[in-house]
Amino acid sequence: MNGVTFGNLAQRKRQLVRDELAEAALKLLAFRGFEETTIDEITAAAGVSRRTFFRYYKSKEDVIIEFLGHVGEEMQAALAARPASETPTQALRQTLTVFTDACVAYPEKSVRLTRLILTTPSLTARYLERQLEWKNKLAAQLQKRLGGKNNLRPVVLIGMAFAALDAALDTWSASDGKQDLAELLDEAFAIAFSAD
Amino acid sequence: MNGVTFGNLAQRKRQLVRDELAEAALKLLAFRGFEETTIDEITAAAGVSRRTFFRYYKSKEDVIIEFLGHVGEEMQAALAARPASETPTQALRQTLTVFTDACVAYPEKSVRLTRLILTTPSLTARYLERQLEWKNKLAAQLQKRLGGKNNLRPVVLIGMAFAALDAALDTWSASDGKQDLAELLDEAFAIAFSAD
DNA sequence: CCGCGTGTGGCACTGAGTGTCAACAGTGGC
DNA sequence: GCCACTGTTGACACTCAGTGCCACACGCGG
């Protein structure tokens, strides 16, 4: 074939630089504050040029938000995979397990990340925007599942599920990860999806 | 008194400049696109210097978001004013009337604004951040009303109310303001606060 | 008329983000 | 081993957002 097959060596080098930047960013931003830290300081710590930073991340906010990875796509797939026998509530509760499991798998890092996001206005804004994308994906998926022509219902149900998730996450990060996130989410779901 | 009594003349001049900037911004941003319009173009249209712009608004996003005004404080006051005989659901539904009434009072402008916000990522982000402030205010207010020690419940209920509002607003702006916003919100509330 | 507070414009500066280009390294064909 | 191709990188220059600073003008009160 013409040119390069592109062995995984180059790709692993890319991943290395990407991780180096992400770790340096999280350390500096959490320690010295988001607004107070410049991209030049991050790139200096990671040992690459400023120009290279923007080849991996769109902005300073992006480095942090990208820690969330592809949770949106994974949740959409998880919802699609739930058996049709489940009620929407049950299916949504199980779908959000994708998110909470990631938090529980790396508790200390997740708490640090959550605190940084919730205490930095511009990060909060970007995070909520990302969450909105997740909601839209999941609402479309739920629309398929419910099958009706009422497009209000799936959107409302997804909004409720995330209202429960947000409440659980707030309490969880406020307790420094000491409370059980899954239990908190169960409790929040019980409040949302039952008696008014 | 020392110095200036500060008659309302100066204040009205300030309000005049503020409005001029806001109108010029909305016109240009909606017409030519948010990212494509520079602050210099807005200030040129309003007839003031770039430096003056930043004495009235913190950023380009801010000009648009400020159109929302003090809805947050007004909703908090509205919730506080609801009679104790109402159920939380009823009280919240009435509280959101503050928002929807403002939309219905200036339908064409509200739809333009909503579309601009929802189609511009950085505006969506800032809007959601503002909405989060509203939620926090209202959750604190609802906490007082409910009186219990369970802080999960008010947060979840507020989240549900806004899930209903968001869904209604989406549908409303998608219909170009032709559907009845109050009816849409009633419908969304019925979905959220009843059978799961 | 004179001081005082306030609004304004101009200027310089930092930082974010982008386009462009030359240098360089890995890969495959010969 | 040589060479062409391709992707990554760093350096430079540029635009735009946002801020600090200072001099100037206006309205008001004494």
Is the C-beta of residue B52 closer than 7 Å to nucleic acid chain D?
A: no
Tell me what percent of the residues of chain B surpass a pLDDT of 90.
Answer: 89
Q: What is the distance in angstroms between the Cα of B64 and the nearest Cα belonging to chain A? A: 15
Check CB contact under 8 Å for A191 and B152.
yes
* Contact between B79 and B91 (Cβ < 8 Å): yes
Residue A91 dihedral angles phi and psi, to the nearest 5°: -60, -40
φ/ψ (deg, to 5) at A83: -65, 150
pLDDT at B3: 41
Predicted confidence (pLDDT) at residue B88 exceeds the cutoff of 60: yes
Q: What is the dihedral of CA B43, B54, A63, A137, to 10 degrees?
A: -60
What is the third-level CATH fold of A8-59?
A: Arc Repressor Mutant, subunit A (1.10.10)
Q: How far apart are CA B85 and CA B180, in angstroms?
A: 28
Using beta carbons and an 8 Å cutoff, which residues of A are at the interface with B? 87-89, 121, 124-126, 128-129, 132, 151-153, 155-160, 162-164, 166-168, 170-171, 184, 187-188, 191-194, 196
Q: Please tell me whether any atom of strand D lies within 7 Å of the Cβ of A125.
A: no
Tokens 């947000």 found at: A166
Q: Is the pLDDT of residue B115 over 50?
A: yes
pLDDT at A7: 59
Query: Long-range contacts of range A84-87, CB-CB < 8 Å, 24 or more positions apart?
Result: A84/A145, A87/B196
pLDDT at site B7 = 57
Chain A residue numbers with beta carbons less than 8 Å from the beta carbon of B158 are 163
Nearest to B37 by CA among B27, B47, B46: B27
Integer Cα distance of B20 and B17 in angstroms? 5
Task: For chain A, 196 residues long, give each residue's pLDDT as a single digit of tens.
Answer: 444 555 577 788 899 999 999 999 999 999 999 999 999 999 999 999 999 999 999 999 999 999 999 999 999 999 999 999 999 999 999 999 999 999 999 999 999 999 999 999 999 999 999 999 999 999 999 999 998 888 899 999 999 999 999 999 999 999 999 999 999 999 999 999 985 5
Q: For residue B158, what are the contacts with CB-CB under 8 A and spacing of at least 6?
A: A163, B92, B135, B138, B139, B142
Which residues in chain B touch residue A121, judged by CB atoms under 8 angstroms apart? 129
Q: Which amino acid is at B141?
A: Q
Of A129, A131, A175, A180, which to mutate for an interface test with B (greatest number of B Cβ within 10 Å)? A129
Burial code (b: 16+ CB inside 10 Å, e: under 16) for A81-100 equals ebeeeeebbebbbebbebbb
Q: Is residue A191 a contact partner of residue A164, using CB atoms and an 8 Å limit?
A: yes
Which superfamily does A69-192 belong to?
Answer: Tetracycline Repressor, domain 2 (1.10.357.10)
What residue spans define the domains of chain B?
A: 8-59, 69-192
Q: How confident is the model at residue B2 (pLDDT cuts 50, 70, 90)?
A: very low
